């Protein structure tokens, strides 16, 4: 996922069948026809599709202000993302349940840590959905002029959020179909630019190596903080582990394969755009891949085609992320750490979670357009960078806890050293990203987390009173 101008992006999501019976779930007999478990190919498409989402179509313009040093950030970020994917895979072998980082944190450190992971991840997903929808309007504007009118653009962004939500309410069977089709369709324009761009590559278009004027380390850290948004989704298979066939084996494989594939697409695509669109123009672009195709072939048809493909990709992204945003609250609600309503499912979908998420994302979208302040929204994007690192760090801490505790049933002795190194890299990577988000984003993110602590206190008090009454 990722940001340009005033917005960021996410990527799509998980799916489907209940992993364990839940209270107040769907009526008997309804899930079978509409809910379906995923095998390795679909799980991999889920991870890759969620990571790539629509962010790749805006990514080059977002990192262009930092110069080509942002490609170094790409490399560092990819190593960290792969380390996270490996950690999620190892943890999923122990706990192949829906919820991902929430499940791992709660099992290792208790209810409060689990709640923080679920709360932070939930914030990340619905803010990201709003960001992606607003960013998608930039490509819609290439096809239909909506960007020049505030309320027209706002309504378009809201429609882009609610259509995937309707697909989610129809059942995970349809979510999976939309996910698979959109993942396939998005690769046509990406390959066109990534491969075709090599034949039109002009080094003069690259611009300065370090364009921001700061230190090299600062530029890498700052661009990486933005780029993290493009890698959100590495945890998708783990979050949806309860919906994946043979999750103990397939979650880790899907996470790594999907992350590596997405990284290659990101790097080649961004490099191709850097080499085909002049730097000063790229910095101001709202549709960099369209600009790249137009520069390669002339005219406007190529840009129009890429814009259409970007919209398909982003819609698929929203389709999956809408469900992904409901999965962690669903898992937490089953354990009494989120309001019980979030545990309700119909046709394999946590309907209350989907509904609440799309409403909150819609309110944030309206706020973005009515406030008229691009800076406010960019801060919120960086806030999600911070909130995403909370469940990531808790998950890697859980892995380190298992490795250091020495409990033989939790550790594969033959892989102890390798697992420890990978977990340490993932933990250091998560902490670095917190620093890269900046003081303002960390400050705002901590306020979000503190608000969650109050929610946790109320829910914990209710559970205690219920136990006492019983």
Is the model's pTM score more than 0.85? no
The confidence score (pLDDT) of residue 117 equals: 93
Residue 468 backbone phi and psi in degrees, to 5: -65, -45
Q: What is the pLDDT, as a whole number, of residue 4?
A: 38
The residues, any chain, with a CB within 8 Å of residue 104's CB and separated by 6 or more, are 91, 95, 117, 394, 395, 398, 399
For every one of its 470 residues, what pLDDT tens digit does the chain have, with 9 covering 90 and above?
A: 544 333 333 333 333 333 333 333 333 334 445 445 667 877 887 788 778 766 677 778 888 888 888 888 888 888 888 999 999 988 888 888 878 899 999 988 999 999 999 999 999 888 888 888 887 887 787 788 776 677 888 888 898 888 878 877 765 555 556 666 666 676 777 777 788 888 888 888 887 887 777 777 778 877 776 777 677 788 888 887 777 777 888 888 888 998 888 888 888 888 888 888 888 888 888 778 778 888 887 766 666 777 787 787 777 778 777 877 888 888 889 888 898 888 888 766 788 888 898 999 899 888 878 876 555 566 667 788 788 889 999 999 999 998 888 665 566 666 778 888 999 998 888 887 777 677 877 888 888 889 999 989 988 888 888 888 76
């Amino acid at each position: 996922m990722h940001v340009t101008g005033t917005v960021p992006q996410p990527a799509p999501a998980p799916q489907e069948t209940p992993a364990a019976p839940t209270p107040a779930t769907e009526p008997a007999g309804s899930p079978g026809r509409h809910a379906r478990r995923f095998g390795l190919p679909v799980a991999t498409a889920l991870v890759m599709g969620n990571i790539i989402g629509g962010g790749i179509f805006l990514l080059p313009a977002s990192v262009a202000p930092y110069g080509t040093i942002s490609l170094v950030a790409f490399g560092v970020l990819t190593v960290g993302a792969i380390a996270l994917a490996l950690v999620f895979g190892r943890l999923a072998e122990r706990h192949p349940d829906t919820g991902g980082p929430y499940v791992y944190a709660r099992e290792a450190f208790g209810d409060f840590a689990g709640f923080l992971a679920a709360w932070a991840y939930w914030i990340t997903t619905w803010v990201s959905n709003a960001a992606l929808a607003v960013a998608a309007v930039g490509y819609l504007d290439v096809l239909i002029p909506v960007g020049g009118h505030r309320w027209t653009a706002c309504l378009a962004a809201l429609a882009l959020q609610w259509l995937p939500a309707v697909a989610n309410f129809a059942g995970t069977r349809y979510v999976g179909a939309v996910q698979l089709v959109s993942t396939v369709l998005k690769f046509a324009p990406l390959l066109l630019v990534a491969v075709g761009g090599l034949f039109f590559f002009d080094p003069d278009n690259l611009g300065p190596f370090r364009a921001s004027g700061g230190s090299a380390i600062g530029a890498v850290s700052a661009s990486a903080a933005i780029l993290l948004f493009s890698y959100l989704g590495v945890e998708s298979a783990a979050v949806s582990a309860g919906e994946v066939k043979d999750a103990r084996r397939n979650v880790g494989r899907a996470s790594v394969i999907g992350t590596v594939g997405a990284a290659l697409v990101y790097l080649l695509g961004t490099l191709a755009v850097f080499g085909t669109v002049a730097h000063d123009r790229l910095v101001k672009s709202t549709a960099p891949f369209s600009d790249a195709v137009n520069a390669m072939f002339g005219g406007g048809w190529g840009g129009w085609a890429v814009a259409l493909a970007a919209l398909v990709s982003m819609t698929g992204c929203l389709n999956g992320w809408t469900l992904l945003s409901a999965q962690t609250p669903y898992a937490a609600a089953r354990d009494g750490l989120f309001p019980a309503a979030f545990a309700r499912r119909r046709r394999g979908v946590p309907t209350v979670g989907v509904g609440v998420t799309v409403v909150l994302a819609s309110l944030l979208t309206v706020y973005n357009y009515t406030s008229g302040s691009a800076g406010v929204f960019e801060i919120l994007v960086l806030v999600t960078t911070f909130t995403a690192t909370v469940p990531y760090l808790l998950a890697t801490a859980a892995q380190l806890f298992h490795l250091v505790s020495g409990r033989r049933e939790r550790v594969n002795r033959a892989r102890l050293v390798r697992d420890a190194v990978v977990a340490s890299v993932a933990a250091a990577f998560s902490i670095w990203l917190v620093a890269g988000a900046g003081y303002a984003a960390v400050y705002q993110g901590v306020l979000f987390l503190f608000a969650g602590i109050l929610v946790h206190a109320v829910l914990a008090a209710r559970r205690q009173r219920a136990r006492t009454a019983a």
